[in-house]
Amino acid sequence: MEKKFFERPIINKINAGIPDKFGMGNQLNPISTIDGVAVKDLIAEHGSPVFVLSEKTIQDIYQDAYQAFSTRYPKVQFAWSYKTNYIDAVCRTFHKLGSWAEVVSGFEYQKALENGVPGNQIIFNGPDKNEADLRLAIENASLIHIDHFDELYLIIRLADETNKRPKVAIRVNMDNGIYPQWDRFGFNYENGDAWNALNRIMLSKKLDLVGLHTHIGTYILAPFGYGNAAKVLADLAIGLDRKYNHKIKYIDMGGGFASKNTLKGAYLPGSDTCPSFDEYAEAITNALINSSIDPENMPVLFLETGRALIDDAGSLLGSVIGNKRLKDGRRATILDIGVNMLFTSFWYEHIVVPAQATSKYTEDTTLYGPLCMNIDVIRDAIQFPSMKIGDQVVVKRVGAYNMTQWMQFITYRPKVVLIDRKGKVHTIRNRENIDSIRSLEVVPDYLK
Amino acid sequence: MMKIKKNIAVSESGFVFDAGTGETYSLNPVGVEIVKLMNEGKNQEEISNYFLSNYEVSQGIFESAYFDFVSILNQYNLIER
């Protein structure tokens, strides 16, 4: 007689609460392949855990975003936000699609140059640009977005010393109707700092004021905030034209578009609540087109969106290390995926699904990472099926920030692979090993 | 030998009702079978033998699943003491 399939016995308490009219089910549909490549083969070949990026998804999402803006506005240019994911293969994928580079440090600037981006197609943002960084950016005619007055005066001095006209924009922050209002970057509009900075640039006659920039926040769910911010930048552009007869070449609306991940504490999943590219595009382009900017001299619209372009293209594959019961009877499953590599689990309720068919019976489960640290929690509470040691899981939408904000802590950072359009898998960053970490350490002679 | 408390009703489909507290629970099919065997007065060894001969499972895996299950029954106060 053929033996029956065994699944772990489960008893779940039935909690009769107020029915949820949205009726979200607990059913977890396993993800066994990514772009046609089996998860088990990816783990067998590249180890567990491993980050997997999909070139197809990157291209599809980029085209969606580009289409949303370019069908509404005549001149659109995307710039890839390096800090979101600066693995060279990822940056080059975006550059091949037509993106310029948006960098926020000397390190990222160097990476962009080495990725073949011409200097005049690099936008240099952020508060941390030292003198050497600025000299290089001026030499390369990069677009320097000034963050504060000290930086402005330093650039004026460097213009004198180098005998060049640096190409600059200012970053502007303003009350655009959303909360929190970011005011730590750039010059404030309402208190007059933005105009002070513009006046100083224009009166110095040493800098080439080419653009205006804002970046209103991150994971912004309210497109109207962008519309209001675009109105402010349009107002400044019109003012510059009237006062100095100076036409700026571009308006840079920054990034901050939400991806479809669900924030902790959100009632509905991000996939239901996040605005589409069309909604963001509608708000921004309407504000610019309806402004009094001369239609013959409409500035190029720059966008630096990162998260919304890359998050969906990344998955993190991992394996189950073990199971246990917590004090209150809740199941805990320990994965080899920890917060050291999945930094975004601090603010997202990531979608975690098994990579193989599992029981339809689920239990309230906490998913822990492998670190010997209490904070290493991937999901506090998730309805999850019973998993055995070695069973594999897929964490969805992890392409943004994890491969830059990850920590080398307790264990190695994992390998990253890219699946190209033809389904071929390429290693784009190797797993760390003891040498990659020790190569930076120096033991003093007296301790040898 | 463990038994489910007398005032607890278990249906064939795995619906569990605790008349003492009013709480309800649901069991998966393997859970139903274990509870049924417990109520028939089978001890752990007998239950284990039944599963090893009827299910595709090793002794180690069954035992860890069994003790985990019993700990939850205890947690919910469903076992006679």
Would you say B4 and B42 are in contact if contact means Cβ atoms under 8 Å apart?
A: no
Chain B contacts to A (CB-CB under 8 A): 16, 23-28, 30-31, 33-34, 51, 53-57, 61-62, 65-66, 68-69, 71-73, 75-76, 78
Q: How many domains does chain B have?
A: 1
Per cent of chain A over pLDDT 90 is 83
Domain spans of chain A, in order of start: 33-52+313-432, 55-311
Distance from CA of B45 to the nearest CA of A (A): 17
| pLDDT surpassing 80 at residue A18 | no
Please list every residue in chain B whose beta carbon sits closer than 8 Å to the beta carbon of residue A329.
Answer: 71-72, 75-76
Question: Within an 8 Å CB–CB cutoff, is residue A361 touching chain B?
Answer: yes
Angstrom distance (rounded) from CA A435 to CA A433: 5
Q: What's the topology of domain A33-52+313-432? A: Lyase, Ornithine Decarboxylase; Chain A, domain 1 (2.40.37)
Closest Cβ–Cβ partner in B31, B54, B56 for A9: B31
Best residue of B26, B28, B34 to probe chain A, by most A CBs closer than 10 Å: B28
Question: Within an 8 Å CB–CB cutoff, is residue A9 touching chain B?
Answer: yes
Closest Cβ–Cβ partner in A6, A11, A323 for B57: A6
Range scoring the smallest mean pLDDT among A324-333, A336-345, A373-382: A324-333
Q: Does residue B16 lie in a domain region? A: yes
B18: containing domain: 8-75
Q: Does residue B66 lie in a domain region? A: yes
Q: Does residue B2 lie in a domain region? A: no
Instruction: Give the pLDDT band (50/70/90) at residue A270.
Output: confident
What pLDDT does residue A203 have? 96
Q: Kindly report the pTM of this predicted structure.
A: 0.90
- Cβ of A11 within 8 Å of Cβ of B69? The answer is yes
Q: What share of chain B is helix, strand, coil (3-state, %, to 5)?
A: 50, 20, 35
pLDDT tens digits, B40-81: 889 999 999 999 999 999 999 899 899 989 999 998 999 987
Distance from CA of A324 to the nearest CA of B (A): 8
A/B interface, count of CB pairs below 8 Å: 70
Instruction: Give the pLDDT band (50/70/90) at residue A344.
Output: very high
- Cβ of A6 within 8 Å of Cβ of B51? The answer is yes
Question: Within an 8 Å CB–CB cutoff, is residue A15 touching chain B?
Answer: no
Angstrom distance (rounded) from CA A82 to CA A67: 22
- Cβ of A8 within 8 Å of Cβ of B76? The answer is no
Q: What is the predicted ipTM?
A: 0.94
Q: What residues contact residue A344 under an 8 Å CB cut-off, 6+ apart? A: A261, A350, A398, A400, A401, A402, A405
What class has domain A55-311? alpha beta
Joined tokens for residue A175: 């009350």
Q: Does residue B17 lie in a domain region? A: yes
Q: Does residue B3 lie in a domain region? A: no
pLDDT tens digits, A21-41: 555 555 678 999 999 999 999
Would you say A326 and A366 are in contact if contact means Cβ atoms under 8 Å apart?
A: yes
| pLDDT surpassing 90 at residue A179 | no
Angstrom distance (rounded) from CA A58 to CA B78: 52
Which DSSP string corresponds to A62-118? HHHHHHHHHTTSS-EEEEEEGGG---HHHHHHHHHHT-EEEESSHHHHHHHHHTT--
Mean pLDDT within A189-213: 96
Instruction: Give the pLDDT band (50/70/90) at residue A358.
Output: confident
- Cβ of A13 within 8 Å of Cβ of B23? The answer is yes
| pLDDT surpassing 70 at residue A402 | yes
